[in-house]
Amino acid sequence: MKLDVLEAVKGRRSIRAFENQDVPAEILEKIIDAARLAPSAGNIQPWEFIIVRKPEIKRRLAEAALDQMFIEEAPVVIVACANEARSSYGYGVRGETLYCIQDTAAAVQNILLAACSLGLGTCWVGAFREEETREILKIPRGIRPVAIIPIGYPAEVPPARSRRPISQTMHYETF
């Protein structure tokens, strides 16, 4: 079953427990396809995705993510990286420090929504030791790991987390 975008936006939850069931390569490809359709500054597409299935690498990533061991439980872990070098060629410092992160974050959100619409669970993990993650995955300079995303069939149904009300977050005309 595929969900409408708004249904996926409303129904998505961070999932931190996964079934012991693999994610087929075709499904993973659909998800990465959704990621690469994200908007990016100047259409530079500065994202890179590392797909990790090896248990040993997943374990080390979980440790680098301050021992968030649920990462290891997922059959697949996607590490989304921003290619700073690519963005800086086009947009200098603003490209390197801002656009490439924004672009990659947009791609990460597409991953989360596409996965949700395909019945998969994900969690956007941003708390990790960057240097250690670089070493584990042999990520070269100029490429910055932005998010670790465990992905698999959900083994939990968490309640919705609260959000700040619209009235507090919406500003009319001026701040």
| Cα–Cα distance measured from residue 53 to residue 76, given in angstroms and rounded to the nearest whole number | 5
Task: CB nearer to ligand FMN: give 7 or 29.
Answer: 7
Q: Which residues contact 160 (CB under 8 A, 6 or more apart)?
A: 13
Q: Which of 27, 75, 25, 38 is nearest to 55 (CA)?
A: 75
How is residue 1 written in tokens? 């079953």
Partnered with residue 50 across adjacent β-strands are 79
Considering only 11, 14, 39, 130, the residue that binds ligand FMN (CB under 6 A) is 14
Considering only 22, 119, 126, 129, the residue that binds ligand FMN (CB under 6 A) is 126
Considering only 32, 123, 136, 151, the residue that binds ligand FMN (CB under 6 A) is 123
Q: Which of 8, 42, 7 is nearest to 114 (CA)?
A: 8
Q: Is 17 in the site for ligand FMN (CB under 6 A)?
A: no
Q: Is 124 in the site for ligand FMN (CB under 6 A)?
A: yes
Task: CB nearer to ligand FMN: give 43 or 163.
Answer: 163
Q: Is 134 in the site for ligand FMN (CB under 6 A)?
A: no
Task: CB nearer to ligand FMN: give 14 or 97.
Answer: 14
- Token look-up 């061991």 returns 69
